[in-house]
Structure 1
């Protein structure tokens, strides 16, 4: 049997260094532009600081430790993650504080986290049920460790979390019976709120989080000097920040915002959310900028008005919106001029092909490169083991590994 040899090239990996995106990289490739990335890091950190909150960006968006480190270097308090495996990956790459906003379930996952805590990781997870509390308490007692936990406060019809004050009280009592668990605050997620006046509902939910953590602190059940209160995705971060922006919280609690997609933003879903933030706060200086694009070649021009692009579901997210054509780079030209593609639109996506509808007078040739934007960046990052950071001239400045 012939010896197995792994492929020497992964998709989107430069063939040389230094490298130019259009000359030295087999396309398609996922690309993060340096200037808007740097802008977004500073913008969101400044926003959190101005509202007296810590920033713990949700790392599941990118699972790129190079980006985690940039976020920490920009002032982030820690990194939010969703799973034990993500937690271990982040810790292995130098992240020393993780907020895991899911219940920690299953002994193998508990073992991963326990090992990381023993290795120095500052960690807490959320709980919303007595069964999980008992399992965690027994496991971490066996390991001789204290596990910090947050009670998750949910919303009716939402995802996880306690729905009522009575459920919170029951859970507090269950945690108190487990010496290996330390209750350190309250966690929530407002992104599942829908219907009616959503903004008002988000504001009410933020107030509910604050009221709950204060009630628990007054009752003496929280086991830390500055209890955590945390929420915020990338849609309503301004309203949650306002709910947390109180002198008493700044002085006696640890309010934590957790947006993730802001780091690269997008061209539609979160672009719309940013427009709404600006509408709610006309005096807000600046805004987030899209940084993530995927570049791919025109593969075929089989009939008038149709281009097939060498790009597919394996390369770019397609929910809630299909990939958005942004620019055309003609094949083989000097200086890499690009051209507007207004009126071009994606109509269909398959595993390895995108169908692009064109105006009758479209100037296009096989081999041309099309840059596509995304709507919701998370589902693009997880399709790549390597993401390229490039400057404005498309020179590759960094190759960033992902660890999903």
Structure 2
């Protein structure tokens, strides 16, 4: 049985969250909406557009809430995510990873036919030419951003000169419309100390300025400078170079970002809206209980999950395989019994969401809706 078959009868029933089969991906609707409003207000106050990254939530329902709050569009990591959101009526999508494989380029051209405001990044003149050929065959046009390598060496042009060469190549393609540049400093997003993170971003922003200056001098001033993220949004807004932000995880706030001082205040500008509800399945040892959420239920790349309810906050978490994890604390096996509920803050929200088919949307202790993870698994 899928989540709707299991749980649809619980929607609207007071206290129904406690009856969910676990592990369950739980989304607090009021916290989600407050997070959406808070980031939108920050961007608007600085005169900067917000284009949230849908790779975090992979949800048409959440994307529509972000657009309704004032977002100019959404970002997608892969063309598969963009296809799903576009077919669900979400417009003005930017694909933030280069589309280079022949089959993917064909799909990109077909998507450009039916997706209003679609844009994509490029970092290679030869790939730009292949996209141009596919667009010509499909009688479609596409907005493009030049992806700039911020030092990760993952994607992006590697120098100001390479950016100018690519802009020149794009200008020769009648079906491509050069709109600007993308610059995402992924390595800096999770630096926990604010001052250290700011210093790192100031240095990288200086380099971005060199690329923008080279493009402008060559006759290609970018209209859009897009990038940033949840970890650096406050710094980037203060520095004033970006025209739009691509922050994504702020809607949920996973442990990786909760461990960071995001804005220098030492406080938390966003709330934890995403959780995994689990249950104790075995409690036969005094200092350890086993829960029903393991590798298949939580990401493994962001450290340990954190217990928020059902056990003391200092309780240690340890994976115990595909289906299970341990909660470790003195006498925890004497306090918790099999069947008892616990709630966890996820280590890294993006890959955790990709493990589930649905969000269980709650207000307080009541299930109010079940939303599909629309673009789950659409990594190609």
TM-score norm. by structure 2 comes to 0.89
Distance 2:309 2:159 in 1: 50
**Within-5 A mapping of 1:170-181:** 170-181=165-176
The answer to whether the aligner puts 1:354 opposite 2:325 as a matched pair is yes
The answer to whether the aligner puts 1:271 opposite 2:258 as a matched pair is yes
Distance 1:124 1:324 in 2: 37
Q: Output the aligned Cα RMSD.
A: 2.5
Distance 1:302 1:10 in 2: 33
Q: 2:259 aligns to what SS in structure 1?
A: helix
Residues 90-110 of structure 1 show CA distances to partners (whole Å, capped at 9, x for unaligned) of 111121100111111223322
Residues 56-79 of structure 1 show CA distances to partners (whole Å, capped at 9, x for unaligned) of 000000101111111111111100
- Alignment match, 1:234: 230
Distance 1:343 1:174 in 2: 56
Residues 172-219 of structure 1 show CA distances to partners (whole Å, capped at 9, x for unaligned) of 222233222221101111122599954223123234434533543454
- Confirm or deny: 8 A CA contact 1:344 1:356 kept in the other structure: yes
Distance 2:235 2:3 in 1: 45
Aligned residue among 39, 59, 63 for 2:58: 63
**Within-5 A mapping of 1:20-39:** 20-39=15-34
Aligned residue among 111, 117, 128 for 2:112: 117
Residue 292 of structure 1 deviates from its aligned partner by 0.8
Residue 25 of structure 1 deviates from its aligned partner by 2.1
- Alignment match, 2:359: 387
Distance 2:285 2:31 in 1: 37
Distance 1:211 1:316 in 2: 41
Q: 1:278 aligns to what SS in structure 2?
A: coil
Count matched residues. 369
Distance 1:272 1:364 in 2: 27
- Confirm or deny: 8 A CA contact 2:86 2:115 kept in the other structure: no
- Confirm or deny: 8 A CA contact 1:320 1:375 kept in the other structure: yes
Distance 1:160 1:12, change over 3 A: farther
- Alignment match, 2:220: 221
- Alignment match, 1:375: 347
- Confirm or deny: 8 A CA contact 1:85 1:112 kept in the other structure: no
Residues 343-399 of structure 1 show CA distances to partners (whole Å, capped at 9, x for unaligned) of 32112341110111121265111110011111221121111111111112x101121
- Confirm or deny: 8 A CA contact 1:314 1:383 kept in the other structure: yes
Distance 1:326 1:151 in 2: 42
Q: 2:12 aligns to what SS in structure 1?
A: coil
TM-score norm. by structure 1 comes to 0.84
- Confirm or deny: 8 A CA contact 1:11 1:29 kept in the other structure: no
Residue 324 of structure 1 deviates from its aligned partner by 1.2
* Structure 2 residues without counterparts, runs of 5 or longer: none
- Alignment match, 1:139: 134
Residue 24 of structure 1 deviates from its aligned partner by 3.6
The answer to whether the aligner puts 1:84 opposite 2:79 as a matched pair is yes
Residue 12 of structure 1 deviates from its aligned partner by 7.2
The answer to whether the aligner puts 1:186 opposite 2:201 as a matched pair is no
Residue 228 of structure 1 deviates from its aligned partner by 0.8
Distance 1:146 1:278 in 2: 43
Distance 2:342 2:172 in 1: 59
Distance 1:10 1:319, change over 3 A: farther
Distance 1:343 1:239, change over 3 A: closer
Residues 148-182 of structure 1 show CA distances to partners (whole Å, capped at 9, x for unaligned) of 11111113343211121121122122223322222
* Structure 1 residues without counterparts, runs of 5 or longer: 1-6, 246-253, 329-339
- Confirm or deny: 8 A CA contact 2:35 2:271 kept in the other structure: yes
Q: Which structure is larger by alpha-carbon Rg, 1 or 2?
A: 1
Q: 1:185 aligns to what SS in structure 2?
A: strand
Distance 1:262 1:11, change over 3 A: farther
Higher mean Cα deviation, 141-150 or 10-19? 10-19
